[in-house]
């Protein structure tokens, strides 16, 4: 149990994005007694299996997000926005701002700025501005202002251009096992024929762990303006 409970808000463009890319760290925080909240700006329903109804698959995705979060003792939020139609506008920024003010996270995790997927890049821009809006009391909303002091961008094979691991966060075998059990509840993680998601992220966690001289780890980027090392001497 952490001395002081932290709240971690992981914001993805689709259900499953944060569960895969930051799930080990989320599981680790959960085991320490911290509060986990996932927010998907769309359900990701256009990845529907062949022959399935899109809206039925959307419902399945929402349930998968809920099951993952509950396994980590947390909660999930999925916005009612069609997959692939996420709008890069002020309305979305204030919608996410309001969620940040409601959840009051110490830590936000979201997508890196570059991606092969437009919803990921749009989510990155929305979250950066929403975090700023949420912290300004001069933006009068239903909830009082709140600034999430720590912001991280998760490592994702779809967001790889110019991504360079900056922060390594290691986690235990127990956290790894919890993550694997929870993320395997997502159909696309284990059933997709287009990309071996589970295998990729299992091996990536081990590779990053080896690089960190640990067993398992996930890596993150941080805002460029925060990239500094402060020392009094070499």
pLDDT at residue number 223: 96
Q: How many residues does the chain have?
A: 234
**pTM of this prediction?**
0.96
Residue 80 lies in a domain: yes
CATH for 149 = 3.40.50.10320
Domain of 69? Answer: 7-226
Residue 22 lies in a domain: yes
pLDDT at residue number 153: 98
Distance CA 115, CA 132 (A): 22
Distance CA 212, CA 110 (A): 22
pLDDT at residue number 103: 98
Q: Give me the number of domains the chain comprises.
A: 1
Residue 1 lies in a domain: no
Residue 150 lies in a domain: yes
Distance CA 197, CA 191 (A): 9
Residue 234 lies in a domain: no
Residue 181 is given by DSSP the state H
Instruction: State CA 225 to chain mean position distance.
Output: 21
Do the beta carbons of residue 214 and residue 170 sit within 8 Å? yes
pLDDT at residue number 50: 87
Residue 196 lies in a domain: yes
Which regions of the chain are under pLDDT 70? Answer: 1-2
Residues in contact with 53: Cβ distance below 8 Å, sequence separation at least 6, in sequence order: none
Distance CA 45, CA 63 (A): 12
Do the beta carbons of residue 223 and residue 168 sit within 8 Å? no
Residue 136 lies in a domain: yes
Residue 59 lies in a domain: yes
Residues 100-143 pLDDT 10s: 999 999 999 999 999 999 999 999 999 999 999 999 999 999 99
pLDDT at residue number 1: 46
């Amino acid at each position: 149990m952490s001395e002081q409970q932290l709240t971690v808000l992981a914001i993805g463009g689709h259900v499953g994005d944060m569960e895969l890319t930051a799930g080990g760290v989320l599981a680790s925080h959960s085991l320490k007694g911290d509060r986990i909240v996932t927010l998907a700006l769309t359900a990701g329903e256009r990845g529907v299996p062949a022959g399935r109804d899109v809206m039925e698959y959307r419902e399945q995705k929402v349930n998968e997000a809920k099951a993952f979060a509950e396994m980590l003792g947390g909660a999930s939020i999925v916005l009612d926005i069609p997959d692939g139609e996420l709008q890069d506008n002020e309305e979305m920024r204030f919608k996410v701002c309001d969620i940040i003010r409601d959840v009051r996270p110490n830590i936000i995790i979201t997508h890196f700025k570059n991606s092969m997927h437009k919803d990921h890049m749009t989510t990155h821009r929305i979250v950066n501005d929403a975090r700023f809006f949420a912290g300004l009391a001069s933006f009068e909303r239903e909830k009082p202002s709140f600034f999430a002091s720590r912001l991280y961008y998760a490592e994702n094979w779809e967001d790889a251009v110019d991504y360079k691991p900056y922060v390594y966060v290691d986690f235990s075998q127990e956290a790894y096992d919890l993550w694997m059990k929870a993320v395997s509840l997502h159909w696309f993680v284990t059933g997709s024929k287009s990309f071996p998601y589970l295998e990729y992220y299992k091996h990536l966690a081990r590779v990053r762990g080896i690089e960190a001289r640990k067993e398992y780890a996930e890596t993150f980027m941080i805002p460029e303006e925060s990239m500094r090392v402060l020392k009094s001497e070499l």
